A and B are shown apart, each in its own frame.
Chain A
Amino acid sequence: MSAVLTLLILNAALAAYVYLRPEVRDPLYDAKQQALTARFAAHPDGLRVVVLGSSRSAAAVEPKALEAALERETSQPTAAFNMALQGDGPIGQLVHFRRLMNAGQRPDAMVVELLPATFSWSADKPYDAVVLRPDRITHEELETVCRYGFPEDQTRRGWWEAALNPWSGLRFQLLACVQPKWLPLGIVQHRRDIGETGGWGPWEPVPEAVVRERLDGVRQQYQPELKAIRWEGPHVQAYEDLLREARAAGIRVAIVVPPEGTEFRSWYPPDVEAGLTAFLDQLRREFGVMAVDGRAWLPDEAFADGHHVTRPWAKTFTERLTREALVPALRRSEQSE
């Protein structure tokens, strides 16, 4: 009896805590948002730039380099923050963008990643459904993700299981608080460690042999996903809604396809390549955004595993991105105003 009672009390206590502090569901996002708020508060008059995307953009875009490059080009003081999160695809980006807006942190400009792999659709669900687990989102966001193609029964069941039995549903978030090294691989690492200043999460350079070994694993993971990419459907709708909402909020957007090594680029089926080019054209036309394909911008030695940029090369990439996408996006917007 006391076992059942203790269990009920522990469950109710944690459930109540999560209800009052929903941010504990997504600790990395929360830590980044807090850092972003502090950074923007410290630069109230500057141009505020936010980067949305996955770990690819988290590694490739160095906020300090972006600030310096943008200040050089526009002569405006700039505060940039890299809000990219591990595994964030189009639906995850939309969810996190809305959270940012609800928190009153409207940026002046955004770099929005377009990572083709996150547009895959397999086992009747979008890529985001694997990474943006129901335990990470609020009840309101649950409705959002279900609208954008998450498997409804499974997602709702997962959300309620996490809400009613939070010790199980939020176990990775809890474990990350006490022993982050014990988190299993292949899941979002819920560490509150936001990386370096400005949310940058650089990858360190490794010997060629290690890169080769990692690339084998990357191939196993990504080759099937690249074949399953679909340039239409609810996940594409989510990406377009993100751009639509950004435009409505007066945020200038630069879209970037992040850099990849030669081998990684060779895994794209031809129809997916053609689809990507067409999709970028469509976004340029429909939303008036700057959209650049940066996949071939860096040499192969710039990657730690064939697709994550290493620390020394992030600056090179960031400067080019600023020059070729962000600055034109800002200028285009000024002209239209």
Chain B
Amino acid sequence: MLFTTHQYLIFFVAVFALYWAMPWPRLRVYLLLAASFYFYATWNEWLALLVTATATLDWLLARGIEVAPSRRIGRLFVAVSISVNLGVLFYFKYTNFFLDSLFQALHAAGVSHPTPVLKVIVPFGISFYTFEAISYTVDVFQGRVKAERNLPNFLLFILFFPHLVAGPIVRARDFLRQAHRPKRWSWVRAQHGVQLIALGLFKKLAIADCMAIYSDRVWLPGQDINALSTQAAWMAVIAFTIRVYCDFSGYSDIALGCAHLLGYKLTVNFRMPYISANIAEFWRRWHISLSTWLRDYIFIPLGGSRGGFWFTSRNLIITFGLAGLWHGATWCWLVWGLVHAFMLIVHRAFRQFAEARPTLNWALETRAGTAARILFTLFFVTLSMVFAQPSLTAAVSVLKKMFVVETGVGLPMDQNRLWWTVYVVVAAHLVVFLGIWKWLWRRTPGPVLGAACALLFVGSQVLSPDTTNAFMYFQF
């Protein structure tokens, strides 16, 4: 059930109405739990049961950690929790990747045997809820959060439908507190939720889905990339860069908006990442719930940046290599992660270099310097997007097309819409970056803002192309 369908609208309105009409507030958790289970089960009921079963096991193990007679037994429970969660993740998501890689290596060594393929469906959002479950048991073990006594509350933390399939990756300490708190209707909060939903729908339907028409010419498997002209390759990559941001941040906005309407606050996932002045800042603004998870549960436990340059670089490579594989079980995604690790390492080295030179540092901090850094960062982030796909060969072909000037065929649709979308995205970023949005926000009466939201909603529907594309991050 996609957030952008009439089916979801009916589902959400029904849940919302029942939720706030319910005279016994305690039952609200059960209602949300049932709705969340139904939400996932509309796609696959067996996998909905699997998620519920693993979550129940995590709840039991966390209780066990808390009452464990010794630290060693607690550690054993954590190990079991991590093994089960990662085991399920590996089975569904990575088995075919490893089998394929293993048999390719064997073929290279001269062993001829057909590559076995495991017929499994990758559960939607498995990478998201696996990370949530792991962070919970680790946090309980480290004493950062108390083990939840109430099973429905804990199941809701994992299954809560707005964040279930594509995040944000919520933390137990943020969510469980809210599950316990009685909910009171708030107009301000509802207004904020509706605004987020309208904005998210516009990003997804009017921008991301339209950009998909251009970028699919490169990103869909089986496309003849070599037939493209250099200009078409660049335009497809620009379209993909806009698409991936608007698709995922649009999803996050709708998720946050729906959660607000039900009285929950989820983690903000994006803070305009394309105006980052360097790659480290980009990762503080892009998919924040994942980057902070990686920081807290991989980078810091590895030693973080407490050692020297090479030690930190090693940790960055491991962390971002895993981040790449988290996105997709392909070599191309691994390269994508390593490209980002490399950019972060170069940035660290350059920052140290610049800090030792006050004039250079001053120049970089000026308005012109900041603008140049933003463009430089955006350029490399855009280039890295080429690797955000299943095929390494295709990624190399696209890069070659981009930098070796060639004639060829153009993109399937008129360019006019692509460029207008670029102008709108740039203008929207400028409006927020220059503080115009905040200024407007404070001075515009509520009813006018509400009407503007409705117009945004209508606009997103009118500009939506025919295809109902699933959100890109569902596959992760």
Contact = CB atoms under 8 A, between A and B. Distances in A.
A187 B465 CA distance: 10
B363 to A, nearest CB: 42
Size category of the A interface is 20 to 34
A292 B463 CA distance: 43
B409 interface: yes
A3 B462 contact: no
Contacts of A185: 213, 412-413
Contact of B416 (A2, A5, A182, A186): A182
Given A6-B450, A6-B454, A167 B412 contact: no
Contact of B213 (A167, A172, A184): A184
A3 B6 contact: no
Interface in B132-177: none
Interface string A3-38: 111110010000000000000000000000000000
Given A7-B454, A185-B213, A167 B417 contact: no
B6 A182 contact: no
Interface in A183-221: 184-187, 213
B417 A171 contact: no
A182 B413 CA distance: 8
Nearest to A181: B414
Contact of B414 (A182, A186, A213): A182
B96 to A, nearest CB: 27
A165 interface: yes
B457 interface: yes
6 contacts: A1-B187, A2-B448, A3-B191, A6-B455, A182-B463, A184-B210
Nearest to B195: A3
B98 to A, nearest CB: 34
Q: Is the interface of A mostly helix, strand, loop or mixed?
A: helix
Contacts of A4: 194, 450, 454
Contacts of B412: 185
A81 B457 CA distance: 41
Contact of A175 (B198, B449, B450, B463): B463
B464 interface: yes
Contacts of B455: 6, 10
- For the complex of A and B, the 8 pairs showing the least CB-CB separation, nearest first, are A2-B450, A6-B454, A3-B450, A2-B447, A184-B465, A168-B461, A3-B453, A7-B454
Nearest to A172: B466
A7 B413 contact: no
Which of A3, A175, A181, A185 neighbours the largest number of chain B CB atoms within 10 Å of its CB?
A3
Nearest to B450: A2
Contacts of A2: 446-451, 454
Contacts of B413: 184-185
A252 B453 CA distance: 56
Contacts of A172: 466
Given A182-B414, A182-B417, A161 B458 contact: no
B155 to A, nearest CB: 31
Interface of A: 1-7, 10, 161, 165, 167-168, 171-172, 174-175, 179, 181-182, 184-187, 213
Contacts of B6: 161, 165
Nearest to B4: A168
A6 B459 CA distance: 13
A3 B453 CA distance: 6
Given A2-B451, A184-B213, A184-B465, A7 B458 contact: yes
A171 B454 contact: no
B461 A167 contact: yes
Contacts of B198: 3
A269 to B, nearest CB: 25
A5 B191 CA distance: 13
Nearest to B454: A6
Nearest to B198: A3
Contacts of B447: 2
Given A175-B463, A185-B412, A186-B466, A10 B417 contact: no
Contacts of B187: 1
Contacts of B453: 3, 6
Interface of B: 6, 187, 191, 194-195, 198, 210, 213, 409, 412-414, 416-417, 446-451, 453-455, 457-458, 461-467
Contacts of B464: 168, 171
A3 B194 contact: yes
Given A171-B463, A171-B464, A174-B462, 17 more contacts: A2-B447, A2-B454, A3-B191, A3-B194, A3-B198, A3-B450, A3-B454, A4-B194, A5-B450, A10-B455, A171-B461, A179-B417, A182-B416, A182-B463, A184-B210, A184-B213, A185-B412
A326 B455 CA distance: 52
Nearest to A186: B466
A238 B161 CA distance: 46
A98 B6 CA distance: 32
Contacts of A10: 454-455, 458
B407 to A, nearest CB: 12
Given A3-B194, A185-B213, A186-B466, A165 B450 contact: no
Contacts of A161: 6
B375 to A, nearest CB: 28
A165 B461 contact: yes
A336 B198 CA distance: 66
Nearest to A178: B462
Nearest to A7: B454
Nearest to B194: A3
B450 A1 contact: yes
A116 to B, nearest CB: 26
Contacts of B414: 181-182
A8 B451 CA distance: 11
A157 to B, nearest CB: 8
Nearest to A210: B409
A33 B308 CA distance: 78
Contact of A181 (B417, B451, B461, B466): B417
A179 B414 CA distance: 11
Nearest to A174: B462
Given A2-B447, A167-B458, A185-B213, A213 B465 contact: no
Nearest to B447: A2
Contacts of B461: 165, 167-168, 171
Contacts of A184: 210, 213, 413, 465-467
Contacts of B462: 167-168, 171, 174-175
A181 B416 contact: yes
* Chain B CB within 10 Å, residue with most, of A165, A174, A184: A184
Contacts of B195: 3
A187 B416 contact: no
A161 B9 CA distance: 12
Nearest to A166: B461
Contacts of A186: 466
A131 to B, nearest CB: 12
Contacts of B457: 3, 7
